[in-house]
């Protein structure tokens, strides 16, 4: 087992043209490339990658969790947002929890934290709308990995051992994901015949086989025997939703996120605030720049932790929150030389553990995809014989009556997992894509030959609980303000407001100068150093840039994980 995590190696960005996959596990990258090579597009390869990650990195993700995706269609230049998150059981109410003594917060691995797993439906719905290949073809690489086994990667082995101690050894069915009660060691072969059976069942019967058949019965029985209240009816009622993505402009680029109940709006709020400053005039790791970025995120979290909720249950004032005028008002609350730890949510109207990966195919379609169990293995509860653990996403509900994110039957919780996408304005002149700037209507080109469109710049993401919007903001700043390539943007040391609150402590990654840490502490930021395996706090990201003129792809993969970017 790896006992120390060092960052002494150098990674260069990866280039290609016919397609690229970037993920936190090389074998999952290979699964996605296999599907691209077989004629699949970005949607097909994304689901192949997601399923393979379930096999190779169950410490973070799986079919027992949720997913979100942004899909860029190269033909229409439109972006679709898929919400594959599940809902609370119909029998789970605040009154029930209060009667049982859970008035403030549920224990993190309690069966009441299990919401309906939305990932399977999300996988199937993405393929149904945007894919080309059959589900059986797409899931074949993952089924092969689960049947034949695979050598466990080093960082994954570390967190598998931790998960075995924290969850799997104590949870019903959890030993199924261990080797005699322990996590597999680095390089040790792990086979998962139960998960192979699950994926094979879904490959043959689609999402109905998961939500209405033997698997659903096993999930419901296991949860109820553990003391939960999820039922077969809850599972059968599940549906994904296709939503309008949300976006803001930052430095001439348009940054896209999924709307609430996901926390992508947090990154957009922070970027809107930061846009009024000029980070590029400061050194990237200087106290001056990090102070502005931290303060922008404190304000964003103050709003996010109040307003983000299931829009089917409460009004989320998205357009008002993302207006430039609202950002201008919030920006005035930032003191240039003093930390503010008591920021409150504004009034825009009058009244971690996760895997992120991205795929771009040779035609320019792109998929930004994220899939999660939440806290590592989630609850660690495994339906007997099926090889996957059940998430604990319901832990993110508020138990405060009247809170927008308060638990309610059939409600989706505040969700930390967020995929991102970046586009820029482009033009189509006589059927040819060109950058928008040279072809604005003020030129002499006839208007009949001119139309405006979104040019894909990059799918991107940074996984890891409440780090995710913070990582999104830091990566976008690196790309837009500093013009870094994807790998350099991911290599840069990060900060993290560790609990995702407006006044939280700030973890500073090894590589940030000690003088910067001292200066931030002197102006009031409660900072602390982070190194080794604890760097997991800062998430693990992937980025694939696409040149709209040449189609050349440039990818990077986070050095804090076992993965890579690879091209055809």
Tell me if 434 sits within 8 A of 547, measured CB to CB.
no
Residue 35 to residues 135, 149, 551, Cα–Cα distance (Å): 11, 20, 20
How many helices (H) and strands (E) the chain has is answered by 16, 20
H helix runs in 504-562, sequence order? 514-522
C-alpha closest to that of 392 among 376, 406, 408: 376
For 49, list phi and psi in degrees, rounded to 5. Answer: -70, -45
Q: Which residue do the tokens 């990932």 mark?
A: 119
- CA quadruple 256, 262, 264, 266: dihedral sign: positive
Place of tokens 């033997």: 214
Name the token pair of 489: 């943007």
Provide the strand spans (E) within 238-349: 241-243, 246-250, 253-257
**Spatial contact of 265 and 257, defined as CB atoms under 8 Å apart:** yes
Nearest-angstrom CA–CA distance, 117 and 382: 12
DSSP state of 446: -
Altogether, the residues listed in the chain come to a count of 568
Q: Tokens 């039922």 — which residue?
A: 231
Give the number of other Cβ atoms within 10 Å of residue 205's Cβ: 15
Interatomic CA distance for residues 386 and 315, integer angstroms: 38
Reduced to 3 states (helix: H, G, I; strand: E, B; else coil), residue 147 is helix
Neighbouring residues of 84: CB distance < 8 A, sequence distance ≥ 6: 66, 67, 68, 69, 118, 119, 121, 122, 123, 125, 240
How far is it, in rounded angstroms, from Cα 133 to Cα 47?
11
Q: Is 178 known to be catalytic?
A: no
Structure tokens belonging to residue 280: 């590029």
Between CA 117 and CA 391 the distance in angstroms is 7
Q: Residue 319 is encoded by which pair of tokens?
A: 């357009």
Q: Give the start-end residues of each E strand in 208-270.
A: 241-243, 246-250, 253-257
Strand order in the sheet with 564-567: 241-243, 78-84, 66-73, 366-372, 354-361, 19-23, 564-567
From 222, 354, 379, 516, active-site residue: 354
Active-site residue list: 354
């Amino acid at each position: 087992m790896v006992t120390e995590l060092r960052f002494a190696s150098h990674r260069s960005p990866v280039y290609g043209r016919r397609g690229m996959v970037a993920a936190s596990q090389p074998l999952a990258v290979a699964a996605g490339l296999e599907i691209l090579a077989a004629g699949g597009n970005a949607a097909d390869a994304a689901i192949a990658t997601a399923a393979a990650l379930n096999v190779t990195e169950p410490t973070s993700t799986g079919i027992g969790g949720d997913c979100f995706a942004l899909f860029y269609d190269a033909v229409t230049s439109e972006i679709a947002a898929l919400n594959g998150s599940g809902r609370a059981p119909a029998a789970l109410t605040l009154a029930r929890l209060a009667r049982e003594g859970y008035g403030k917060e549920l224990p993190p691995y309690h069966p009441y934290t299990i919401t309906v797993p939305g990932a399977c439906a999300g996988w199937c719905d993405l393929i149904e709308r945007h894919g080309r290949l059959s589900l059986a073809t797409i899931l074949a690489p993952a089924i092969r990995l689960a049947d034949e086994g695979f050598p466990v990667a080093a960082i994954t082995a570390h967190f598998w051992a931790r998960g075995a101690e924290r969850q799997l050894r104590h949870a019903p069915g959890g030993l199924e994901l261990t080797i005699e009660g322990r996590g597999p060691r680095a390089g040790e072969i792990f086979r998962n015949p139960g998960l192979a059976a699950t994926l094979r069942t879904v490959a043959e019967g689609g999402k109905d086989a998961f939500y209405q058949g033997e698997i659903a019965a096993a999930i419901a029985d296991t949860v109820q025997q553990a003391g939960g209240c999820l039922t077969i009816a809850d599972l059968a009622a599940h549906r994904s939703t296709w939503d309008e993505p949300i976006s803001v402009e930052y430095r001439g680029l348009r940054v896209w996120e999924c709307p609430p109940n996901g926390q992508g709006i947090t990154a957009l709020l922070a970027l809107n605030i930061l846009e009024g400053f000029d980070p590029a005039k400061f050194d990237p790791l200087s106290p001056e720049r990090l102070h502005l970025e931290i303060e922008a995120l404190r304000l964003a979290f103050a709003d996010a932790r109040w307003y983000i909720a299931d829009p089917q249950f409460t009004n989320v004032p998205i357009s008002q929150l993302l207006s430039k005028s609202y950002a201008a008002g919030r920006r005035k609350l930032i003191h240039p030389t003093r930390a503010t730890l008591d920021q409150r949510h504004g009034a825009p109207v009058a009244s971690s553990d996760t895997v992120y990966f991205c795929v771009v195919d040779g035609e320019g379609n792109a998929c930004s995809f994220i899939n999660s169990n939440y806290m590592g293995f989630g609850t660690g509860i495994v339906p007997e014989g099926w090889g996957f653990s059940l998430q604990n996403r319901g832990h993110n509900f508020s138990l405060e009556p009247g809170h927008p994110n308060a638990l309610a039957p059939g409600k989706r919780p505040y969700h930390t997992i967020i995929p991102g996408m970046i586009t820029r304005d482009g033009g189509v002149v006589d059927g040819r894509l060109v950058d928008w700037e040279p072809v604005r209507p003020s030129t002499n080109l006839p208007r009949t030959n001119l139309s405006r469109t979104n040019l894909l710049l990059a799918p991107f993401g940074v996984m890891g609980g409440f780090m995710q919007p913070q990582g999104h903001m830091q990566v976008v700043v690196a790309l837009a303000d500093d013009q870094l390539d994807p790998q350099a943007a991911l290599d840069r040391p990060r900060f993290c407001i560790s609990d995702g609150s407006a006044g939280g402590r700030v973890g500073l990654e090894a590589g940030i100068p000690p003088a910067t840490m001292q200066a931030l502490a002197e102006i009031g930021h409660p900072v602390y150093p982070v190194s080794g395996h604890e760097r997991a706090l800062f998430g693990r990201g992937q980025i694939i840039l696409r040149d709209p003129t040449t189609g050349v792809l440039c990818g990077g993969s986070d050095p804090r994980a076992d993965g890579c970017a690879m091209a055809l």
